[in-house]
Structure 1
Amino acid sequence: MELEVRHLRALCAIADTGSLHRAARQLGVAQPSLSTQLRRIEQELGGTLFVRARTGCRPTPLGRLVLSRARPLVTELRSLVTEARAAAAGGRQLRIGSTASRALAGWLRRLRRHCQEPTLHMDVSANALLRMVADGQLDVAFVHEVEGCPLRVPEGLSIRVLVEREPQFVSLPADHPAAAHPVVHLSDLAGDRWMIDPAVDGEWDAVRRVLRAAGINPRVLHGDYHTAASLVAIGEVVTVCQPTSLPRPETAVRRLYGDPLGVRLLLAARTDTELEGVYPDLVEAYREVVGQAPAYREWLESGGPGLPVPALP
């Protein structure tokens, strides 16, 4: 017997459901048939893949090894079928890469009106996303470039600038004394712990440079920004944030005095044609989230450099 894709799907279903009965229902086959198929697979591979017990099925060490190779193959085949069907229907899935942005949801919603369901690949590394576009793994990438830390843009990519300089704000506990003011001085945060994600290209270097320029050497925790948001909410840290970030009852989003830290928002693709197809929707989506962010909108209306798009409503 030679292993086929259907056999790999069966193994994944058994592992995912933890039960031959539930896996059989998921696959649309009879349980005795699935049990027979599993025995034949194990005979072919020369070992037991699952331990059967009253509590269900769990992979053996050999089973975990096989599953580690089977899952990517099954996922890749599923993507191939999806893209092939889209192409046969006259379209192709748009493969989007992005760093974190509140504009992303609105952008995807608008793109769905024009094309097949886009696929999305998120990464904190803008450089990694740009390489994926250059290698043909993504069609377009929406990324940010931290001021003073230029991205390594692969040769041949087309770039469109969404925002030349987006100021970065600060997220702090709502009961922090500095939150009582619309603009926060870095000196007001000198005694606080800061949390920074060092995996974001250029972020830690830029924040460290800004803090040093202000004569501040605070305690710093390294971690992702989802964790940072939770720690801000309980008063443990402060952190830089995008100006489109929305405050929550337990947090506040404030502008930093002098706007010492900024990023450039870029859209990258292999051709100008690919950019033209998605850029207008991104502009609309970004304008939408700006309109929802009071502190950022106030900054723009008070003389901050405007967006390279029509004025906000």
Structure 2
Amino acid sequence: MELELRHLRTIRAIADAGSLTKAATALGLAQPALSAQLKRIERSLGGTLFERGRSGVRATPLGELVLDRTRVVLPAVHELQEEAVRFARSGAGCGPRTTFRLGGTHGPPLGGLVDRLAAAEPGVAVVTHTSWSEREIAASAAEGRLDYALIGACGESAPPESGRLAWAEVARDPVFVTLAADHPLAPRPESELAELAAEAWTDVPGDGCFADCFAAACVRAGFTPACVYETDTASCVHLVQVGRAVGLCRATFPETPGMVTRPLSGAPLVWRHLLGWHPEAPAALRAADVVGHVRAAHADASARSSSYTRWLADRSRVLHNAVEGANR
């Protein structure tokens, strides 16, 4: 693993907070996720950075060395970024836009956005970068390496880099479950989460709070997941198709042969699609157009999902009946 600026920010946050728990809260991460990230950073640097104790954490000699360099590097990079943004904002040396630089986590909206931008502006190249890490994508947009960050956030959780990026909510979807086509619950229009208590689960990784929100929803349903396989999208689909696990997906996720998507009763988990950009970068001038393209791409993906279309129609009917009943 190569050391990145986000790793230096993580090290500084831990030192400033004095404990992994407080640092995780400040960074918007689950404590186990931060501990795992710190271990990867320590392996990359060749030694332990912090000693853990009952009173918190204390930097080791290697940790002090890294922190000394971090206190120099991060302010210098921040100053460079601000100067670059001001330069770009002023229009100095800038000609017509030749590239859209998009970053996103995996899912239908990113492909739909690429398609719409390519169709709307055929003379402009579209460059993409994908990652399972929402924090990495957001940091790249904040640091000027990407024009737009297309990510998701669980429930009402704040997106990463909230202090440096402007965010627009593109859409809000329930989280669905993926089942093998021959699963006993597949013929049902929806399932209770508790009915899946004995299943193994599969999902793509992420560094937001979704794993914690899923675990909490399971506890409310009366069980703890026995096994969760975190892997890439193609492997998740395979594990579901062969009956090894059931999966979690966005409602717009396309069904494939041997697999169906179904809503969970009561929509215990919600996923928000977000588009972020630096408010002082040239990308801000086109943000409204890009948001419109993403919303249209999401609508297209929703229309292609028969299970989501049925869920939306059922919800609309329930709301309509509730309004009619209140007006009587």
How far is the alpha carbon of 1:252 from its aligned partner?
A: 1.1
Q: Once the two structures are superposed, what CA deviation does each residue of 1:28-87 show, in whole Å capped at 9, x if it has no partner?
A: xxxxxxxxxxxxxxxxxxxxxxxxxxxxxxxxxxxxxxxxxxxxxxxxxxxxxxxxxxx9
Aligned runs of 1:127-142 on 2, under 5 Å?
127-142=135-150
Q: Once the two structures are superposed, what CA deviation does each residue of 1:141-178 show, in whole Å capped at 9, x if it has no partner?
A: 11100125433334232111111x31000001111111
- Match for 1:230: what amino acid? H
Match in the other structure for 2:249:
241
Structure 2: where are the runs of 5+ without partners? Answer: 1-92, 318-328
Match in the other structure for 1:204:
211
- Match for 2:286: what amino acid? E
Query: 2:135 touches 2:207 (CA, 8 Å); kept in 1?
Result: no
Query: 1:134 touches 1:154 (CA, 8 Å); kept in 2?
Result: no
Query: 1:197 touches 1:204 (CA, 8 Å); kept in 2?
Result: no
How far is the alpha carbon of 1:200 from its aligned partner?
A: 4.3
Query: 2:97 touches 2:124 (CA, 8 Å); kept in 1?
Result: yes
Cα separation, 2, equivalents of 1:277 and 1:126: 22
**RMSD of Structure 2 on Structure 1 (CA):** 2.1
Give the alignment's TM-score, normalised by structure 1: 0.65
Match in the other structure for 2:166:
158
Give the alignment's TM-score, normalised by structure 2: 0.62
Match in the other structure for 2:200:
193
Match in the other structure for 1:300:
312
Query: 1:124 touches 1:201 (CA, 8 Å); kept in 2?
Result: no
How far is the alpha carbon of 1:103 from its aligned partner?
A: 2.3
Is 1:121 the counterpart of 2:129 in the alignment?
yes
Cα separation, 2, equivalents of 1:232 and 1:150: 31
Q: Secondary structure in 1 aligned to 2:276? A: strand
Query: 2:215 touches 2:225 (CA, 8 Å); kept in 1?
Result: no
Aligned runs of 1:26-37 on 2, under 5 Å?
none
Query: 1:131 touches 1:154 (CA, 8 Å); kept in 2?
Result: no
Cα separation, 1, equivalents of 2:132 and 2:160: 15
Q: Secondary structure in 2 aligned to 1:168? A: strand
Is 1:276 the counterpart of 2:283 in the alignment?
no
Q: Which moved more, 1:185-194 or 1:169-178?
A: 185-194
Cα separation, 2, equivalents of 1:198 and 1:235: 20
Q: Find 1:170's aligned residue among 171, 177, 188.
A: 177
Q: Which moved more, 1:274-283 or 1:226-235?
A: 274-283
How far is the alpha carbon of 1:129 from its aligned partner?
A: 1.1
Query: 1:160 touches 1:275 (CA, 8 Å); kept in 2?
Result: no
Query: 2:180 touches 2:246 (CA, 8 Å); kept in 1?
Result: yes
Match in the other structure for 2:154:
146
Q: Secondary structure in 2 aligned to 1:171? A: strand
Match in the other structure for 1:181:
188
Match in the other structure for 2:17:
none
Q: Secondary structure in 1 aligned to 2:111? A: helix
Q: Once the two structures are superposed, what CA deviation does each residue of 1:102-136 show, in whole Å capped at 9, x if it has no partner?
A: 12222111111325121101011112211111111
Query: 2:179 touches 2:186 (CA, 8 Å); kept in 1?
Result: yes
Cα separation, 2, equivalents of 1:171 and 1:254: 6
Aligned runs of 1:249-260 on 2, under 5 Å?
249-260=257-268
Cα separation, 2, equivalents of 1:98 and 1:197: 14
Query: 1:197 touches 1:203 (CA, 8 Å); kept in 2?
Result: no
Matched residue count: 218
Over the matched positions of the two proteins, sequence identity in percent amounts to 25
Q: Secondary structure in 2 aligned to 1:176? A: coil
Query: 1:172 touches 1:238 (CA, 8 Å); kept in 2?
Result: yes
